[in-house]
A and B are shown apart, each in its own frame.
Chain A
Amino acid sequence: MKHFAKILVSSLALMAAPAAAETIAITGGKVVVGDGSAPMDNATVVIRNGRVVAAGGNVTVPANARRIDASGKWVTPGIFAGFSRIGLVEVGAVRSTNDTRAADSVFSAALDVQYAVNPFAAPVAVNRAAGVTRAVVSPSTGNSMFGGYGAIVDLGQDSDPITKARAFQFVEFGETGHSRAGGSRAAAHILFRAMLEEARTYSRSPSLFDSDLMKASDAKALLPVINGSTRLMVHVNSANDILKVLDLRKDFPSLKLVLVGAHEGWRVANAIAAAKVPVLASALTDLPEGFEELAATQSNIGRMKQAGVQVGIGMINDRDAHQLRYSMQYAGNLVALNRIPRAAGLSWDEAFAAISSKPAEIMGMGAKLGSLKAGRQGDVVIWTGDPLELSTQVETVFIDGVEQSLSNRQERLRERYRNPAPGALPKAYDR
């Protein structure tokens, strides 16, 4: 069994062995930098040593570069999914393949998704082929309001998906936090405060640590949250719950908060903006799924943006292990919303930034990821047209400057059944 697994892994590694990063010049395309600026016609993107060297209209093509003619195409940074569970799940309802939550673990904040993200999971390949190159990966919560450490990953075909481990700690407030903490919002707030206080106790004398609330490992995991060296990503939806979360900084002034979900964020957008807390918001949620989101509206992101909130798209609990490829459609819908009187959407340029540079910046990775500015990692996608439009297809994907395979099992199934009737041999021989 072990032997078999080893063979499988090595053969996959061989198949997936990426070409070494090369110097590439993508010329003549419509180039979107991803920082909210307007697309540039007939522009060039140069990638070298895995990074973007230049993107613009007046770029010199290095003599040794492989040239790719992108005339009539669009060239953009890869899509950055602002929230996901990519690589943690193969089949959602098959528990043994689902690593999003650990309800029976004695640990909580100490859980770390970096050990669970599987770069060879089918959803990674499927979403890579759709143009998604990076993602925030978060655990769900099990027996505690804390889910553990999330990571930033790439969707490349190589065996190392982790861009940044321990990029943030994930915590549930609102209705789920209420449930995880024992049955009320008051319980969630006291538990949160008590756990952070216990973590401080731990830091003073780790060897003497003895707590009814958590293990030493969890206490240790919360220390970088308290001192703000690690972001705290808070899933919260209602206007009131958001205000109470912002208030946590009265007791813990160094908390580096990021809100995710925030379906009623527009109602308290000024407070969020004043607190300078960024938001990864669900784009199109507009129904009162729970009482914590009675005011959910598709105008949420647009209104928060207007109020000065730093906001990107993050689709929490919305097919977030399999369908990161909805990101472009969601962004496109926000553009469409601008044509509806009294609704608030985003401009095209802002909408694309909401699925590229904005999530990267919100996660503190803006200098490295999310755009085609010089020095960013070479995550580049060539599209047949407007990347937010439903009819557009992906042609080429680079991650860290390496051209990626777009093959995946959906594509293989499609080809096998292009003509469904068996031929001279059964379908099982078509491959």
Chain B
Amino acid sequence: MKWKDLLAVAAAGALVTGCAATAAETETASASASGPSKSSAKAVFPSTYKRYPSDNVVITGATIFDGEGQQIDNGVIFMSAGEIVSVGGPDTAIPTDSTIIDGTGKYVTPGIIDIHSHLGDYPTPSVPAHSDGNEATSPVTPEVWAEHSVWPQDPGFSRALANGGITSLQILPGSANLFGGRAVTLKNVPARTVQAMKFPGAPYGMKMACGENPKRVYGNRNRKPATRMGSLSLTRQTWINAQDYRKKSKGTKPPKRDLAMETLVGVLDGDILVHNHCYRADELNQIIDMSKEFGYKVTAFHHAVESYKIADILAKEDICSAIWADWWGFKMEAYDAIPENAALLQQAGACVVIHSDDENQIQRLNQEASKALADGRAMGIEISDATAIQWITYNPAKAMGISDQTGSLKSGKMADVVLWNGNPLSVYARPEKVWIDGAMLYDANDPGRRPVSDFELGQPGEGDVK
């Protein structure tokens, strides 16, 4: 949807940018709102998420992809009290007081994680009243927070759960701006408030953008940036301002509180993770040099369709590429995209994350990973099935700063688990059951385990299996 919006908008010479361009966020003291922070400041807009009741569940006889690149055949997984207790082969001890699910012929993965989503800030229906993803009134808006735009009743959350097994996701501001604002990480649990979806302990992200979108949006208004060099200069000047603010904050006369600067200082302090929308290889390299100039780290380049051209550099710099399997050609900077991008990065030892940036493909992230895997194998690159699953589980968790809590099936982690009715890398597989913190929130065989948002209640088709 955002992709369509983007094209329509570009064609109309208008300004707003949908998905195929986004930004991240940073936070300062308030990063502690829902997570560990070096700051002692009191959390604001704190997470109120609480896990729902769960049973002791054991799945036996399944093929398990653990999220960290391992495959266990005829495996056993035991969940209790919202956590994963044990994962192993057929000889794994099975507690007696548990619900036993026969997973023969089925597959188990960690809950799928989408590092790049606009659910809630560009929700459906995609009417102008719902367009809350881009604060496109200034190219520098690190002060805005995506969570203040997220509409929890977006029907897209339910489809991502039921069809895609999505259990965690990062909601980013759009890419109209060089500094788009703060991103928020959510558990994909329906709630009345965003706070009740916020992932406990997740660090904030900050969305940045390079390339076509900011210069189109502002250049069309005869404002800076109208060029790529304009974008870099404004971005650098903003970092200079942030360094100055940071220095003064530590002095005897702290400056007046500034939300934008708090986010940027959060990045400079390492508390907030940078998610940088950027397509072209040459521009990725420019951004890397800029990050070195100011002493911060880019955690992930998003939509980096040309990462394959500098896979060696990205591996050395330890920066993830969050990418589509095969999107291409929708704009000039996406013209050189190739379906082997993920595989070439993997071959070079660089971090791969498959993302959606799309309310439809988030429902099939497993299939996107599978396509990227198949295209890699077709060119002779050997990659395991389990590694492809890592692209949509552990790797995004790591890049979102939540890999200690979720993203792989390890003892003590959150019981975010999907049981698939076949190999999730096959087009014929679907989620059968999805647990979030051990609570079964989707069951294909039980219409009662299927969320319906307020928006859809009482509408035509509400009783439908969406």
Interface set of A (CB-CB < 8 Å, partner B) = 89-95, 98, 101, 122-123, 126, 239, 264, 267, 284-291, 294-299, 317, 319, 321-323, 325, 329, 332-333, 335-337, 339-343, 388-393, 410, 413-414, 417-418, 420-421, 427
- B359 with A322: CB separation less than 8 A: no
- Name B's A-contacting residues (CB within 8 A): 1, 3-4, 6-7, 10-11, 124-127, 155-156, 159, 163, 212, 308-312, 326-332, 334-340, 344, 348, 359-360, 363-364, 367, 370-371, 373-374, 377-379, 421, 425-430, 444-445, 447, 455-456, 459-461, 464-466
CB pair A414 B379 closer than 8 Å:
yes
Contact assessment for A339 and B125 in the assembled complex, using a CB-CB cutoff below 8 Å: no
Q: List 30 A-B contacts (CB under 8 A).
A: A90-B329, A91-B329, A92-B329, A93-B6, A93-B10, A94-B332, A122-B329, A264-B461, A267-B460, A286-B163, A288-B456, A289-B126, A294-B456, A294-B460, A317-B4, A329-B371, A329-B427, A333-B427, A335-B428, A340-B465, A388-B427, A390-B371, A391-B426, A410-B337, A410-B339, A414-B340, A414-B379, A417-B311, A420-B310, A420-B344
By a CB distance below 8 angstroms, the chain B residues around A427 are: 309
Closest CB-CB distance, B83 to chain A, in whole Å?
29
With A123-B329, A413-B338: A285-B360 Cβ-Cβ less than 8 Å: yes
Cα–Cα distance between A297 and B162 once the two chains are bound (Å)? 13
**Nearest neighbor of A338 in chain B, beta-carbon distance:** B428
Among candidates B124, B155, B329, B428, residue contacting A336 with C-beta atoms closer than 8 Å: B428
B11 touches A414 (CB 8 A): no
Whole-angstrom distance between the alpha carbons of A14 and B456 in the complex?
57
Q: Is the CB of A91 within 8 A of B374?
A: no
* Residues A332 and B155 in contact in the complex (CB < 8 Å), given A267-B461, A290-B125: no
Give the residue of A289, A342, A389 whose beta carbon is less than 8 angstroms from that of B465: A342
Chain B residue with minimal CB distance to A336?
B428
- Of A317, A321, A410, most B-chain CB atoms within 10 Å: A410
Chain B residues lying within 8 Å of A90, measured Cβ to Cβ, are 329
Known interface pairs A93-B10, A391-B374. Does A322 touch B125 (Cβ–Cβ under 8 Å)? no
Tell me which of A287, A340, A389, A410 contacts B359 (CB under 8 A): A287
Q: A93-B7, A413-B336, A420-B311 are in contact. Are A295 and B459 (CB under 8 A)?
A: yes
For A337, A390, A418, which residue has the most chain B Cβ atoms within 10 angstroms? A390
**B6 to A, closest residue via Cβ:** A93
| CB of A395 to closest CB in B, whole Å | 10
CB of A420 within 8 A of CB of B312, answer yes
Interface majority SS (helix, strand, loop, mixed), chain A: loop
Q: Are B11 and A93 within 8 A (Cβ)?
A: yes
Are B370 and A391 touching (Cβ within 8 A)? yes
Closest to A412 in B: B338
* Contact indicator A420/B309 (Cβ below 8 Å): yes
Hey, which chain A residues are within 8 Å of B335, CB to CB? 91
From A287, which residue of chain B is reached at the shortest CB distance? Answer: B124
B329 near A322: Cβ-Cβ < 8 Å? yes
**B4, B332, B426, B465 — most chain A CB neighbours (10 Å):** B465
A388 vs chain B, min Cβ distance (A): 6
Known: A391-B425, A414-B338. A91 touches B331 (CB 8 A): yes
Q: Which residues of B are found within 8 Å of A389, using beta-carbon distances?
A: 426-428
Chain B nearest Cβ from A180, distance in angstroms: 13
Complex contact B464–A297 (CB within 8 A)? yes
Give chain A residues whose Cβ lies under 8 Å from the Cβ of B312.
420-421
Q: Which residue of A lies closest to B213 (CB)?
A: A93
Task: Determine the chain B residues whose CB is within 8 A of the CB of A420 once the complex forms.
Answer: 308-312, 344, 348
Are the C-beta atoms of A410 and B378 separated by less than 8 Å? no
Q: Are A333 and B309 in contact (CB under 8 A)?
A: no
In the complex, residue of chain B having the shortest beta-carbon distance to the beta carbon of A292 = B125
CB B188 to nearest CB in A, in angstroms, measures 15
Do B460 and A239 have beta carbons less than 8 Å apart?
A: yes
Q: Kindly list chain A residues whose C-beta atoms are within 8 Å of the C-beta of B1.
A: 287, 289
* Residues in chain B near residue A284, CB distance under 8 A: 360, 363-364
A336 to B311, CA, bound (A): 35
In the bound complex, residues from chain B placing their C-beta under 8 Å from that of A317 are: 4
**Counting chain B CB atoms within 10 Å of each CB, which of A89, A317, A340 scores highest?**
A340
Chain B residues closer than 8 Å to A287, beta-carbon distance: 1, 124, 155-156, 159, 359-360
Chain B residue contacts of A91, Cβ below 8 A: 329-332, 334-335
Chain A residues with CB under 8 Å of B371's CB are 329, 390
The reply to whether A291 and B428 form a contact with Cβ atoms under 8 Å apart is no
Q: Is the CB of B430 within 8 A of A98?
A: no
Which A-chain residue is minimally distant from B380 (CB atoms)?
A418
Distance in angstroms between the alpha carbons of A339 and B426 in the assembled complex:
14
| CB-CB under 8 A for A290 and B332, given A336-B427, A390-B374 | no
A171–B324 CA distance with the chains assembled, in angstroms:
33
Contacts of A336 in B (CB 8 A): 427-430
Q: Determine whether the beta carbon of A290 is less than 8 Å from that of B127.
A: yes
* Minimum C-beta distance from B210 to chain A (A): 16
Is B159 touching A417 in the complex (CB atoms < 8 A)?
no
Query: Chain A: which residue is nearest B379 at the CB level?
Result: A414
What distance in Å separates the Cβ of B354 from its nearest Cβ neighbour in chain A?
13
Shortest Cβ distance from residue A418 to the other chain B in the assembled complex, whole angstroms: 7
Question: Which residues of A lie under 8 Å from residue B163 when comparing CB positions?
Answer: 286, 298
A337 to B212, CA, bound (A): 39
